[in-house]
Structure formats: structure tokens, C-alpha cells
Amino acid sequence: MKMKTTQLTLYTAVALLVVAMVWWLLFAPKTTEAELAPSSAQIDVTPQLVTQVKEIGQWEFLAVAQEELVDTTRRGLLSDDHLARIYYGTLRLGIDLHRTRPGWLKASGDSLVVVLPDVSLLDNDFIDEARTQSFYESGRWSAADREALYRRAYRRMLQRGLSPHNMATCRQHAEAQFRLLFAQLGYPRCSIRFE
């Protein structure tokens, strides 16, 4: 008898739960609309916004991958020594926002005047030492000889990587990206110049 009372109580609880769920599904509000406070399409240029953009730091706009074959010969009495190595590197060009000057960002209505530091090499250690290969080597070469070869490759890569064409391309990419960023922040009219 006691078992039947417990079962009856359980069935009653389950039935009440099912009725409550059906009622909720039929009569509960169906919308989940939320009302947002009105906002302007423009974000004010506050000191915090300027700081946040500046804290991003280095913005890379162009990567120039290169390989350089450099060789040297040392003349000897009976034979010559030869050393030829292949160096690989990637020059990363962009803007370091830590170099901006005070007042680099000025807003007036929906217009913005931006003065950016000029594009430059972001990392001076661009040669990938792990990929450097000895192409040909005969004779005995010291660490100083290898360092001199490395410096020659470094200068050649730097000269080719920082060409006027690459610098102009990097400036174009930077200007386009900053225009897009500031347009999304509510400044469709943006004047950008480089120091």
C-alpha cells in the first residue's frame, strides 16, 4: 500500500510538471527583443582611444622575403680557399606607433587628421640563421670570416628590401588600412600624412 502511494505521488508530480511545461510553451512570451539605447555612429577620439590604438605598437604592412648568395675567395700559394653561403630573410616593413608625437591624431566633427611616423624596418634581425646554408666551402674559415660574409648579405638584403618602390608600397598599404580603421570608428573623412 505504501508503495502504491509513493508511485501515485511520483506520477502526480510528473503530470504537474508536464502540464506546467505545456502551459509555458503555449502562453509564455515568444519574443526576446532587447531595447538598445540610441547611439551615434561616431566614436569620440578620447585619450583612451588614442592610447589603445597607439598601444598596438608595430603594424606590419609589407613583408619582403629574400635569399642572398654571398661568396668570398682567399688566395693561397698552392690553392685558393672558397666560401659561398646562401642566406634567407624576411624584412618586415611597417609603422611603429610608439614613435608617434603628441597630437598625432586630431578630430574635428567627422574629419580626422592623422600624422604617422614614416614606414621603416620593424625588426633588424631579419636573416633566418637556421635556414642559412653553406653552398660551397673549401679551406679553413674563422668565425670572423663567416661574420663578414653575414654582414655583406645583410647589407645587400637591406638595400634591396628598403627600395623606394617597397617603401612607397608600404605607405600605400598603411594609408589604406588606417583609413579603413578610422572609417569604422566613424570618421569617413581622414587626412593621413607621414612624417
Q: What is the DSSP letter of 119?
A: P
Name the β-bridge partners of 106: 113
Cell numbers 501515485 correspond to 8
Alpha helices in 28-163 (DSSP H): 47-55, 143-161
Give the strand pairing for 133-138 and 81-96.
Answer: antiparallel
Provide the grid cell at 23.
502551459
Model pLDDT, residue 48 = 60
pLDDT tens series, the chain, 195 aa: 555 666 666 566 656 666 666 655 666 555 444 444 444 444 455 556 556 555 667 889 999 999 999 988 877 777 788 889 999 999 999 999 889 888 888 888 888 899 999 999 999 999 998 888 887 878 787 888 889 999 999 999 999 999 999 999 999 999 999 899 888 888 888 899 998
Using DSSP's 3-state secondary structure scheme, residue 89 falls into: strand
Query: Is the pTM here over 0.85, yes or no?
Result: no
Cell numbers 569620440 correspond to 44
**Phi, psi of 132, rounded to the nearest 5 degrees:** -60, 135
Spans of all domains in the chain: 2-27+43-194
Residues recorded for the chain? 195
